[in-house]
Amino acid sequence: MKLAVFVSDYRMTVDTLERLKPEKMGIILVQNGVYHASVKENGNASSILDSSADLYALKEDLETRGIDPANVDSKVKVVTFGDVVDLMFNDYEKTAWL
Protein backbone atom coordinates (compact mmCIF):
# COMPACT_ATOMS: atom_id res chain seq x y z
CA MET A 1 0.00 0.00 0.00
CA LYS A 2 0.93 3.65 -0.39
CA LEU A 3 0.61 5.32 2.99
CA ALA A 4 0.81 8.96 4.03
CA VAL A 5 1.67 9.12 7.73
CA PHE A 6 0.92 12.35 9.59
CA VAL A 7 3.25 12.92 12.54
CA SER A 8 1.64 15.58 14.71
CA ASP A 9 3.75 15.53 17.84
CA TYR A 10 7.34 16.07 18.85
CA ARG A 11 7.37 13.71 21.81
CA MET A 12 5.93 10.60 20.19
CA THR A 13 3.54 8.64 22.40
CA VAL A 14 3.23 5.64 20.11
CA ASP A 15 5.70 3.21 18.51
CA THR A 16 3.63 2.69 15.40
CA LEU A 17 5.80 4.59 12.93
CA GLU A 18 8.80 2.28 12.97
CA ARG A 19 6.54 -0.76 12.51
CA LEU A 20 4.75 0.43 9.41
CA LYS A 21 6.29 -1.11 6.30
CA PRO A 22 4.17 -0.06 3.34
CA GLU A 23 5.47 -0.38 -0.21
CA LYS A 24 5.57 3.43 -0.38
CA MET A 25 5.48 5.81 2.57
CA GLY A 26 5.39 9.55 3.01
CA ILE A 27 5.80 11.21 6.39
CA ILE A 28 4.04 14.55 6.67
CA LEU A 29 5.19 16.56 9.68
CA VAL A 30 2.39 18.76 10.99
CA GLN A 31 1.57 20.61 14.22
CA ASN A 32 4.28 19.97 16.83
CA GLY A 33 5.59 17.22 14.54
CA VAL A 34 7.35 19.97 12.57
CA TYR A 35 9.97 20.25 15.33
CA HIS A 36 11.39 16.98 13.93
CA ALA A 37 12.34 18.91 10.81
CA SER A 38 14.65 21.33 12.57
CA VAL A 39 15.30 20.75 16.28
CA LYS A 40 18.47 18.88 17.15
CA GLU A 41 18.36 17.20 20.55
CA ASN A 42 21.81 16.93 22.11
CA GLY A 43 23.22 17.69 18.68
CA ASN A 44 21.31 14.91 16.91
CA ALA A 45 18.64 15.41 14.30
CA SER A 46 15.38 13.52 14.88
CA SER A 47 15.58 9.82 14.05
CA ILE A 48 12.50 10.34 11.88
CA LEU A 49 14.81 12.00 9.35
CA ASP A 50 16.66 8.67 8.97
CA SER A 51 13.53 7.10 7.54
CA SER A 52 13.57 6.04 3.91
CA ALA A 53 10.12 7.59 3.52
CA ASP A 54 9.58 10.82 1.62
CA LEU A 55 9.54 13.63 4.17
CA TYR A 56 7.36 16.72 4.19
CA ALA A 57 6.71 19.51 6.71
CA LEU A 58 3.80 21.92 6.71
CA LYS A 59 4.91 25.49 6.08
CA GLU A 60 2.15 27.08 8.16
CA ASP A 61 2.99 24.93 11.17
CA LEU A 62 6.72 25.63 10.91
CA GLU A 63 6.11 29.37 10.79
CA THR A 64 3.59 29.27 13.63
CA ARG A 65 6.31 27.83 15.87
CA GLY A 66 8.97 30.32 14.83
CA ILE A 67 10.85 27.94 12.52
CA ASP A 68 12.02 29.50 9.28
CA PRO A 69 11.07 27.09 6.46
CA ALA A 70 14.47 27.87 4.91
CA ASN A 71 16.17 26.29 7.90
CA VAL A 72 14.67 22.82 7.93
CA ASP A 73 16.76 19.77 7.20
CA SER A 74 17.50 19.34 3.51
CA LYS A 75 15.77 15.94 3.47
CA VAL A 76 12.45 17.60 4.26
CA LYS A 77 10.30 19.24 1.61
CA VAL A 78 8.24 22.18 2.87
CA VAL A 79 4.63 21.98 1.71
CA THR A 80 1.41 24.00 2.02
CA PHE A 81 -2.09 22.77 2.93
CA GLY A 82 -2.85 22.65 -0.79
CA ASP A 83 0.21 20.49 -1.40
CA VAL A 84 -0.89 18.14 1.37
CA VAL A 85 -4.24 17.68 -0.39
CA ASP A 86 -2.44 16.85 -3.64
CA LEU A 87 -0.08 14.42 -1.91
CA MET A 88 -3.03 12.63 -0.32
CA PHE A 89 -4.94 12.32 -3.58
CA ASN A 90 -2.13 11.79 -6.08
CA ASP A 91 0.73 10.06 -4.31
CA TYR A 92 -0.82 7.96 -1.54
CA GLU A 93 -3.92 5.81 -1.07
CA LYS A 94 -4.34 5.64 2.68
CA THR A 95 -3.47 7.82 5.62
CA ALA A 96 -2.41 7.31 9.22
CA TRP A 97 -2.48 10.06 11.86
CA LEU A 98 -0.22 8.99 14.69
Partner 1 sequence: MGKLTIGCFASLVGSTNLDFAVKLAGAALDKGHKVDLWVSGNGTMLSLQEQRAFKDYSYLEKPVKELMEKGLNVTACEACAEARGYHDSNTLEGVKRFSMDWYLGSTFDADRVLHIGGE
Partner 2 sequence: MATTKLGFIVQRPGYKSENPKLALTHAIASQSVEIYLDDDDEVTCDVAFVGEGVLNCIKDQKALDNYQFNSTESHVKMGLLCDLNIFICREDLEKYGMSESDIVLNAEEMGGDMDVKVVPYEEITKMMEEMKHLLFF
β-strands 54-58, 24-29: how paired? parallel
3-state secondary structure string across the chain = CEEEEEECCCCCCCCHHHHCCCCEEEEEECHHHHHHHCCEECCEECHHHHCCCEEEEEHHHHHHCCCCHHHCCCCEEEECHHHHHHHHHHHCCEEEEC
Of the ranges 1-9, 18-26, 43-51, 70-78, which one interacts with partner 1 (CB under 8 A)? 1-9
Tell me if 89 sits within 8 A of 2, measured CB to CB: no
**84 forms part of the interface with partner 1 (CB under 8 A):** yes
Interface with partner 1 (CB under 8 A), residue from 6, 53, 57, 72: 6
Residue 18, contacted partner among partner 1, partner 2, none, CB below 5-8 A by kind = none
**47 forms part of the interface with partner 2 (CB under 8 A):** no
**25 forms part of the interface with partner 1 (CB under 8 A):** no
Interface with partner 1 (CB under 8 A), residue from 20, 60, 69, 75: 60
**Contact residues for partner 2, defined by CB under 8 A:** 1, 3, 9-11, 13-16, 19, 21, 31-32, 35, 39-43, 60-61, 63-68, 94-98
